[in-house]
Structure 1
Amino acid sequence: MVTIRKALQEDAELLTEIGMRAWRKAMTHVGETDAMVINARSAFANFTRSGWLHILVIEKSGVPVGWAAREDFDETITDFWIDPDHERKGYGTLLLASLEEDIRKAGFEEARLETHARNQQAVDFFRARGFSIQWLSIVYNPKIDLDVETVGMHKILIQQEDDTYSPH
């Protein structure tokens, strides 16, 4: 059975490991150094320990297989990590749908996120689920202490009513 729940403090270590495995896979196109890995592990550990209230966890039969976060409880998805051993099984789609519903319920009309421009798997995943690219830039990533090509993506969650007059 698949469930989505809020993270607990005691999830921090496991969520850090899921994040690291997914991050390392995503970084294969960028390359990594020992310092980058140390910085990323530290960032994941710090966030999952201190920011657990912002994290949603997706589980399969009670075992976490991914997690995502909105650090400011706004329209921005700041983290989205599915364990590579559990990719392409629908968990990401379910987790994203849950996040989008939370964003809608919070009163926001769109969801936003950023990802590495060269992480084609992530870009394709989000585009297939209705996100579009708004911008491309070079952004400093403190987790890895490196400038990275980044895309900003968004998805309209609430359709605006057409204000134009129509006799029909």
Structure 2
Amino acid sequence: FDEPFSGFDPINANLIKDEILQLRDEGASIIFSTHRMESVEELCDNIALINKSNKILDGKLNDIKQQYRTNQFEVGLLCSDKNGLLNQINSQFVVGNSKSSCFNNDLRLLISLKKDENSTDLIQFLNNKAQITHFTEVIPSVNDIFLKAVASNN
């Protein structure tokens, strides 16, 4: 299929997507090209990224996503002293894009870990400082991976 969802309204695009997924689940190999990376995330087990007619990346989607992990975590915390907590976290970890909201003492952070640190270290540190309300690893999207692969290939 070449751009299998192009020109379809959302209802019919979903019907086509469901048919493709059913074929895949029945063991069929399906090859399609698309510029819509969200379709790649939804439908593909294996991918090949092509830039200017050259294959720049290929393999199992999950393996590629693991290869491009950034060791970043999105964290939500409840605490009474946001500034004090931020100072403590900043002394131990790299914090970017911090967002804090005013109600319920909710603090949202994007924390980057060093190569020798892992999520367990971060959870243990945070668990002793505040109530963790949200914790998830930020895995790059296929779109982000494509942009990074193209940039490093040029």
Give me the TM-score of the superposition, normalised by structure 2: 0.29
Greater RCO, 1 or 2 (C-alpha within 8 Å, sep 6+): 2
Structure with higher Rg: it is 2
Q: Given the two structures, how large is their TM-score scaled by the length of structure 1?
A: 0.27
Give the strand-richer structure, 1 or 2. Answer: 1
